[in-house]
Structure 1
């Protein structure tokens, strides 16, 4: 009765066997323990009223870290606010988001681990059928590293930023989107991507040139009106 109304977990290992994939014994044991630990951890959290009420906000958190939302929002922000001081941030953030999308997609295609439950929400774009790693966890970790180390915000913004990152990771479990290892893997991948961005960081001059090249057609149109 305690689990009534909660989505049932589906063992990922069973699905892998159904697809005739050869899974090493040690890995199969790790995945099985991960499924059990995730189920127990989520059940334990849902015993608390505060956590159950927090679960109602998980859908908003899911959208707040959605790749499409961040890419579309960044493009709109770049065109709406033509500020040379922000060019470097805008270009590097766009590149970081693209890298994250490709890295997560490639790893998911290789791992092909199934999600713990079926998503039957008609208003949800995604998630895809694969679980490892968590794209939301990797993106949230990447953004945390980006806005605290690469292009740091004021220290006053750090506490809510860390709280958002932590809430994103927990929400992936409460929504039955991922297992614990999926989220942990996503966190490590996101921080590693932030490290890579620190190495390939685009300088201000190159960023201004890229923005100017992208918006060249717009500038030509403005010049024609002046003439």
Structure 2
């Protein structure tokens, strides 16, 4: 007849021992085989690397937001832009905003649209073609050697201005303001670009040239300066250029005159150059 569980437990206590359980025996066997497992892991490095890569701790560390993985250098530069880049972008934003606010003659329906014909007349006065034609005519009609020398160098300065402005526009390729209407007089392919303002460079250079090499009365000198300023300012009012285009144009034209003085031609030098070409 089988004995009851209570009888078996009392018999075990009397005998001074305990009945070994199957779970306890399995744990004992695992501890006994653990040194052998560690030896096998040490002898198989590929399996060790695989287990290390599959470790839950590693997976949690690699996917957690607070992991200390280092970012690439270019990402760090994008996250921390330079102060110069921030300043340039801020200047560009202010330039675009101010140019749009000042473009009051950009169209007939603008706030100063009625003054657009006058602004376009001022635009023609600073165009390169009238200046080239006028300098060439004065050179042809001049009787004195001094007058021919001045007109010859003015003509050279105008050609130099067209070349330098055209090259710079082709390199920078800044588009004209969005509110501009392309109805300018006698435009070329590079005139679709905005930086720098050719009218501003020409007005600044020609004003300095005339004030230096022509004997003018005081009121006329004031009118020359006023004309150059109005030509540059009209470019912004018509919406042709941004403010920085005109400001850089004035600066470029002022220093462009220094280059003209360095390359100054006399009639004798010009005749010698023509003779060498023939």
Bigger Cα Rg: 2
Asked if the contact 2:99–2:242 (Cα under 8 Å) also holds between the matched residues in 1, the reply is: yes
Matches within 5 A, 1:1-227: 26-43=87-104, 54-117=115-178, 118-121=180-183, 124-126=185-187, 128-202=191-265, 206-208=266-268, 210=270
With over 3 angstroms needed to count, the CA separation of the structure-2 counterparts of 1:87 and 1:212, relative to structure 1, is farther
CA–CA distance in structure 2, aligned partners of residues 149 and 81 of structure 1:
19
Instruction: Kindly report the root-mean-square deviation, in angstroms, between the aligned alpha carbons of the 2 structures.
Output: 2.8
Q: Once the two structures are superposed, what CA deviation does each residue of 1:27-46 show, in whole Å capped at 9, x if it has no partner?
A: 444322211011223459x9
Which residue is 1:20 aligned to? none
| TM-score where L is the length of structure 1 | 0.70
Which ranges of structure 1 fall in alignment gaps of 5 or more residues?
1-23, 216-227
Larger relative contact order (Cα-Cα within 8 Å, sequence gap ≥ 6) = 1
Contact 1:61 1:171 in 2 (8 A): yes
Deviations 1:103-159 (A, max 9, x none): 1111111111100144342x7222611001000000000011101124453333101
Offset of 1:199 from its aligned partner? Answer: 2.8
| Segment of structure 1 superposing worse, 112-121 or 184-193 | 112-121
- Where structure 2 has 5 or more consecutive residues not aligned to the other structure, the ranges are 1-84
Cα gap change, 1:213 to 1:153, in 2 (>3 Å): farther
* Matches of 1:52 and 1:150, distance apart in 2: 38
Counterpart Cα distance in 1 of 2:274 and 2:114 = 45
In the comparison of the two structures, how many residue pairs are matched? 184
Residue 183 of structure 1 aligns to a residue whose secondary structure is helix
Q: For structure 1, which segment, 147-156 or 163-172, has the greater mean C-alpha deviation from structure 2 after superposition? A: 147-156
* TM-score, with structure 2 as normaliser: 0.58
Q: Secondary structure, in 3 states, of the residue corresponding to 2:165?
A: helix
